[in-house]
A and B are shown apart, each in its own frame.
Chain A
Amino acid sequence: MKALMRVFIFAIMTLLFGPVEAQNADPLVVVVHKDNPVEQLSRSELIDLFMGKYVAFPDDSKAIPVELEGDHAIKVAFYGKLVGMSLSRVNAYWSRLRFTGRKRAAVFQPDEIELVDYIITNKQAIGYIPQSLITKNLKVVYILNE
């Protein structure tokens, strides 16, 4: 009953805030630590970092992609906009790679707040957040508009 209740509340929340969040003027942005020398990333560079091709920024300094755990709404929106895939397909991609012994270099955070905190404290980190959460300690390197 409690679980049902939670689903219900989530559904209400999604109905009330989801669409607003999806189509409002709060687009997702990719950010790094303000002291990170990287100023700007291309879409391909961004994909290569998050899909495991590279674990370094274009200037060869180590990069740590920061992910949200589970099927967070922001995560769903991020992959939908970046590679046009559902989260399940992205997860399937990683599952397949796991058999070949490839380990993911990403760091997982439970929500966007913690994610921001991680990036602020880690110069090598790179992550995605709604534009509204940008602080002066973060540097935007890519804007996901559409």
Chain B
Amino acid sequence: MNKSGLVIRLAIVITFTAVIVGLITTQIFHRFTFLQEQTLGEQNIKQLFNTVSPTASIASYLNDEELAKEVVNGLISHDLVTDAAIKSDAILIKSDNYQESSTVLEFTLFSPFQQERSVGTLFIKVNENYLKEKANKISNTNTFVVALEASIITIISILVTYFVITRPILSIGKALHSISPGTEQRIEKPSSHQHSEIGQLADDVNDLLAKAEQQMLREKKLRNELQILESRFRMLFENATSAIVLVEPQGDILLYNETFERLVDKLALPLKKNYGNYLQDLFIHKKELHEQVKIAFANNESATAELELTSTSDEKIWVQVVVTPLVTDDFQENYQITLHDISKRKKQISLLDQKANYDALTNLLNRHAAENHLNKLTATKVPFALIMMDLNDFKPINDVFGHDVGDELLIHVASQLMKSLRKADILSRWGGDEFVIVLPHASKEEVEAICDKLITQLSKPLHLTQHNKSVFVTASMGVSFYPDDQTDLLELIKLADKAMYHVKRSRVTDKALYMTFSTDAFNTSGSNESL
């Protein structure tokens, strides 16, 4: 049996209490009995004295030793008396062992004839041992009875407590012990406690069990839902086409998805725990993102940037980076960084750019692109020279040899022209067989030199293998200066155009003429016309 079990404990407490109470009761009872016996003894002694007092009085009145002896002997024959003595003015009669002491009771003897006349004293020594024995005997009996009573009460208390209280509670406890919460198991109500507090306890426990079951079911359901949600989130995260990374402010990676793993693999980089702040080591321009982040975070926005990744392969990988600050529940700031692959788009854009700005045949800038450049130059007030060039006799060649040859010739011209230009210069196909050349910061002399060079280059013939013939073209060029001649772009182009046509017309008489400045053209045109 369990040492600290309820039954044992209860038994110990009840027994202990019974023993203590019994001891105290018997002690008090003993004391009480003893005192009572003592009083009773004293009363008996008084009665004894009353019995012998007439004779004792006579004996001491007459100083009669015989009579006194008779009285003393009579007294000591009593159980209550150990010793006795009679003392008068003339005699002292005492029993054999009589000794004067404080425990001796004294009675004054008066004359039998004169109540007020004292004639002697009677001494009686009470038998204390007899009194004690008697008291002990009585109290021993009482002790035995009390002990018996206490034992009976103890046993009955233990039995009643065990059967009425402890056993039902223990049975409830045992039943509860073997029940696992959250199941349909319930406690059986003890049959003898249908309406008692213990029955109430069983009911309450069952209520609690029912509640626990409900709660558990609800929790299980919630857990399942959470699991499903989590797996969905995981699916979403893992299967996202964008790389998603959660990093700490120092750059330590907390979480990343498969796409990120693949991306790192594609860059031929080892999978590391840290790629620097905002994954900067992955980008070619490491610091660009820092600027964006600083600005965006200051405005409480996500930072966005399009960056090229460090790739060892020829194929460029561009990503759109979005950095979003996330504050966790414990106020830690982390960053969510998503990397969208925009390489394809970048490529398409560059293709579109090519299409929009370049002439498909010659791969020179088209008119639209050239106009953009010119606008840019005028907007920034950069001085430049604008050369309008038109091929001479291109149409007949086109007509005679066909468009293919015409196209071939145009490509040839473009490449020849390209050779004589500086890097900052702009060469564009203005349309048909017209070209516009822009020379920033060029003086008249430099323009003349370049035009000369251009014409020299053009004079190099193109061999037509198909026709086994060599062809070459000449060109007419009109030049205007920004901002010296005109600040308005359209007017500037018109000036150059006019100068070019002036050259074309003049070529009828002067075959060697190939270029003129717009200022000269209008100054001389008058003279030419006058010629």
Interface positions of A (Cβ within 8 A of B): 44, 47, 51-53, 82-85, 93, 96-97, 100-102
Contacts and interface: CB of A to CB of B under 8 A. Distances in A.
Contacts of B64: 97, 100, 102
A83 B113 contact: yes
A100 B113 contact: no
A71 B114 CA distance: 23
A101 B66 contact: yes
Contact of B62 (A44, A83, A102): A102
A100 B114 CA distance: 22
A10 to B, nearest CB: 29
A47 B113 contact: yes
A46 to B, nearest CB: 10
Nearest to B113: A83
Contacts of B111: 47
Contacts of B55: 96
Contacts of B251: none
B62 A52 contact: yes
Contacts of A100: 64, 66-67, 70
27 contacts: A44-B117, A47-B113, A47-B114, A51-B62, A51-B112, A52-B62, A53-B61, A53-B62, A82-B113, A83-B113, A83-B114, A84-B113, A85-B113, A93-B58, A93-B112, A96-B55, A96-B58, A96-B67, A97-B64, A97-B67, A100-B64, A100-B67, A100-B70, A101-B66, A102-B62, A102-B64, A102-B66
Contacts of A47: 111, 113-114
A60 B66 CA distance: 24
Contacts of A97: 58, 62, 64, 67
Interface of A is mostly: loop
B113 A51 contact: yes
Interface of B: 55, 58, 61-64, 66-67, 70, 111-114, 117
Contacts of A83: 113-114
B70 to A, nearest CB: 7
Nearest to A101: B66
A131 B421 CA distance: 202
Contact of B114 (A44, A52, A96, A102): A44
Contacts of B112: 51, 93
A72 B354 CA distance: 186
A83 B64 CA distance: 20
Among B55, B63, B111, B117, which residue has the most Cβ atoms of chain A within 10 A? B111
Contacts of B114: 44, 47, 83
Contacts of A84: 113
Closest 8 pairs between A and B when the two form their complex, measured CB to CB: A83-B113, A100-B66, A100-B67, A47-B113, A53-B62, A100-B64, A51-B113, A53-B61
Contacts of A53: 61-63
Among A97, A100, A102, which residue has the most Cβ atoms of chain B within 10 A? A100
A113 B67 CA distance: 36
A4 to B, nearest CB: 37
Contacts of A82: 113
Given A51-B62, A53-B61, A83-B114, 11 more contacts: A47-B111, A47-B114, A51-B112, A52-B62, A96-B55, A97-B62, A100-B66, A100-B70, A101-B66, A102-B62, A102-B64
B43 to A, nearest CB: 27
B73 to A, nearest CB: 13
Nearest to B66: A100
Contacts of A96: 55, 58, 67
Contacts of B117: 44
Contacts of A51: 61-62, 112-113
Nearest to A89: B112
Nearest to A82: B113
B364 to A, nearest CB: 180
Nearest to B61: A53
Nearest to B62: A53
A83 B55 CA distance: 17
Nearest to B119: A53
A93 to B, nearest CB: 7
A51 B111 CA distance: 11
A85 B113 CA distance: 8
Contacts of B63: 53
Nearest to B67: A100
A107 B111 CA distance: 24
A44 B61 CA distance: 12
A83 B62 CA distance: 15
A73 to B, nearest CB: 21
Contacts of A52: 62
A97 B54 CA distance: 12
Contacts of B58: 93, 96-97
Nearest to B55: A96
Contacts of B67: 96-97, 100
A52 B63 CA distance: 11
A105 to B, nearest CB: 12
A93 B70 CA distance: 16
Contacts of B62: 51-53, 97, 102
B505 to A, nearest CB: 201
A82 B114 CA distance: 10
Nearest to A43: B114
